[in-house]
Amino acid sequence: MLAQALPQSLARTGGEPLDHVADFPAIPEGWAYLDTAATAQKPQVVIDAITRGYDTSYATVHRGVYQRSADMTLAYEAARRRVAGFIGAGSPDEVVFVRGATEAINLVAQCWAAMQLRAGDRILLSHLEHHSNIVPWQMAAERVGAAIDVAPLTADGRIDLDAVEAMLTERHKLVALAHVSNVLGSVLDARRAADLAHRVGAKLLLDGCQAVPRMPVDVAALDCDFYVFSAHKLYGPTGIGCLWARPELLDAMPPWQGGGAMIDRVSFERTTYAPPPARFEAGTPHIVGALGLAAAIDYVEGIGLERIHAHESALVRATRDALGQINSVRLFGPEDAAGIVSFTIEGVHPHDIGTILDESRVAIRAGHHCAQPLMAALGIDATARASFGVYNGPQDVDALVAGIDRVTRIFG
């Protein structure tokens, strides 16, 4: 159905079809995995890197004087350098390893915002933020008596930066926005957002979870102040992610957890702390997770982020074209969404859509996607969401469309 249409879509986006499903042992033939925005499957090279880390080279880092520990420390810090280069950081010391983007945002909320916010200050978010980019700021604001403003969306589901410009005042200290929406796939003009925030003296935090697997990211060019992402959406392991921040901001932030590795010297009278990033990495880190993340970065850069973005854009275009022909289907988000298509079917709950599609071996996400304020703004309770990765192709779009046709027949 779409095998011929996809190359035409790719031609419009300047790319070529990708065919990397064979790299992913967890994807059997005939299974359409369309839930990459929730978590990406792992290529064999990442699995192998994790296995080697535990199998033949495992040791702790930053502590042992024996050779195995020294080698693992070098590999762990090489992974940090790999991340820094991947996102355009000026130095590896600007990269803090955390459990994921949620922990990264909470770290900023507790260590930066808690020190910088005062009663009467304001934080600006948007209607499409993930709960992880809402709740930590609510908690921080409640502690000090700050307030939160919410930017509206444009008609096609983008953060309305014209409205942001009108809303921002010198009382705003932080703007926290999704680089790419996890529900709508809309891409933020991040550089303009940074310019608007800095014009009033505010800092900009970008949630890059859906951006880093799909497009090149350069924090210097974006001119943001904080950038966060999770490895598991980037074809890497769960339990590890990254916070990037400007060095002067990290230097001024106090630690948020105490323990080993984050100290300079400890006595019962007084403790002094290590410089960043060690200051924010108390305890034994997720050593092998960092190795897996580095392998995942090698994998996507080996394919090319521009090619990945073009490929996923073509899949989105083909999906929207096909679903747009079904009268009962309502599509959300912009036409040029990055790798994500959210939709509803009139008279059918998204959970029922997901269940019936699963019977046809099509895996999607159904629910509010940790974005209940966005659902409220759209006037719905939930959506069905198909999201793409490097392992998807026209056959997966065909399977999705055929499954939705079955849903509409079942529900009349």
Domain residue spans of the chain:
5-42+304-410, 47-301
Mean pLDDT score, 100-105: 98
Identical fold, 5-42+304-410 and 47-301: no
- For residue 148, the cross-strand partners are 123
The rounded distance, in Å, linking the Cα atoms of 150 and 133 is: 12
Give the active site residue among 209, 224, 242, 370. Answer: 370
Side-chain half-sphere exposure of 403, counting CA atoms within 13 A: 25
pLDDT at residue 3, as a whole number = 44
Give this prediction's pTM.
0.95
Mean pLDDT score, 285-311: 98
* 22-81 pLDDT, tens digit each: 999 999 999 999 999 999 999 999 999 999 999 999 999 998 889 999 999 999 999 999
> Cβ atoms within 10 A of the Cβ of 44, count?
15
* 214-243 pLDDT, tens digit each: 999 999 999 999 999 999 999 999 999 999
Which parts of 32-182 fold into alpha helices (H)? Answer: 44-55, 67-87, 101-108, 114-116, 135-144, 161-167
Place of tokens 């050593």: 287
pLDDT reading at 9 higher than 60: no
Query: Helix, strand, or coil here: 3?
Result: coil
Confidence of residue 11 (pLDDT cuts 50, 70, 90): very low
pLDDT at residue 14, as a whole number = 47
Secondary element (H or E) of residue 263:
strand 263-266
Cis before 277 (ω within 30): yes
Eight-class DSSP state of 110: I
Mean pLDDT of the chain: 95
The rounded distance, in Å, linking the Cα atoms of 274 and 251 is: 10
Q: Can 370 be counted among the known catalytic residues?
A: yes
pLDDT reading at 105 higher than 50: yes
Domain 5-42+304-410 has CATH 3.90.1150.10: yes
* 121-172 pLDDT, tens digit each: 999 999 999 999 999 999 999 999 999 999 999 999 999 999 999 999 999 9
CATH number among 3.40.710.10, 3.40.640.10, 3.40.50.720, 3.40.50.1820, domain 47-301: 3.40.640.10
**CA angle (323, 334, 207) in 5-degree steps:** 120
**Residues whose CB falls within 8 Å of the CB of residue 22, separated by 6 or more in sequence, listed in order:** none
**Helices 394-410, 5-13: crossing angle, 10 deg rounding:** 120
Q: How much of the chain exceeds pLDDT 70, in percent? A: 96
